[in-house]
Amino acid sequence: MIPRSLGGKKIAILVESEFIPEEIEAYQKRFSELKATVHLMSRLWDNPSVRFFSNEDTGNTTRTIDVNIDFQNVDVNDYAAVIMSANYTSVRLRYFEPPIGQPVNTEQVRTSPAVQFYAKAMANPRIIKGALCHGLWILTPIPELLKGRKVICHEVVLADIINAGAVYTTSPTGVVVDGDLITGRSKHEVEPFIDAITEQIQQISIGTNRFSTRRPTASVSTLRAVS
């Protein structure tokens, strides 16, 4: 059952140029209806704001979004969910700079700030991670984070995901839930993708609340036993 409210929880959406407008609008609309706060964020290159441009594959007029949150300046643990947006945004965010005077080597692919940010989210099971369509490309520089995880993705990404050790899983809804990692096949699955993320956030909140209410009882019992 989809909860009616997320109680002001914060949702991070990683974006870049070549984003899909309908996808971003769906996040803003649906999470707002659920009383959550959506933060669009990206790498801003020391600018106060950066304007990103939408994809042009659909033949529609190019659209823009202005982003003023740099993910390097936030604590990922403040967020209930971190979502890597679809299309080629993840490829653009994997950009890294080799140290000055050093040649490029394979280990440096792991140093992209966006890759590191998403990896920090992966390290916290209380943060729901979402990746739609091509979004899992954000994790392929650190394949051990994908190894053994059940996922779905767009066919264009499939070879890379399999090579990273993920377990490709089909789904009638086009969405696969593997604990704190939720994936969707394409932009067309954005609605059930949002629903799945919302449900998982709620499950974590319920579990946390149950744990919180039980801890004082256990402590009191222990104190009585000791006395």
pLDDT at residue 24, rounded to an integer: 98
29 vs 62: CA distance, rounded Å: 20
Block residue for tokens 């070879």:
159
pLDDT at residue 68, rounded to an integer: 98
Environment class of 75 (CB within 10 Å of its CB; exposed 0-12, middle 13-18, buried 19+): exposed
pLDDT at residue 153, rounded to an integer: 98
Question: Tens digits of per-residue pLDDT, 55-98?
Answer: 876 567 899 999 999 999 999 999 999 999 999 999 999 999 99
126 vs 146: CA distance, rounded Å: 17
Mutual orientation of helices 21-33 and 190-226 as an angle, nearest 10°?
A: 40
pLDDT at residue 205, rounded to an integer: 86
pTM across the whole model: 0.89
pLDDT at residue 94, rounded to an integer: 97
pLDDT at residue 209, rounded to an integer: 56
pLDDT tens for the chain, residues 1 to 227: 566 789 999 999 999 999 999 999 999 999 999 999 999 999 999 999 999 999 876 567 899 999 999 999 999 999 999 999 999 999 999 999 999 999 999 999 999 999 999 999 999 999 999 999 999 999 999 999 999 999 999 999 999 999 999 999 999 999 999 999 999 999 999 999 999 999 999 999 887 655 444 444 433 333 333 33
CB–CB of 171/190 below 8 Å? no
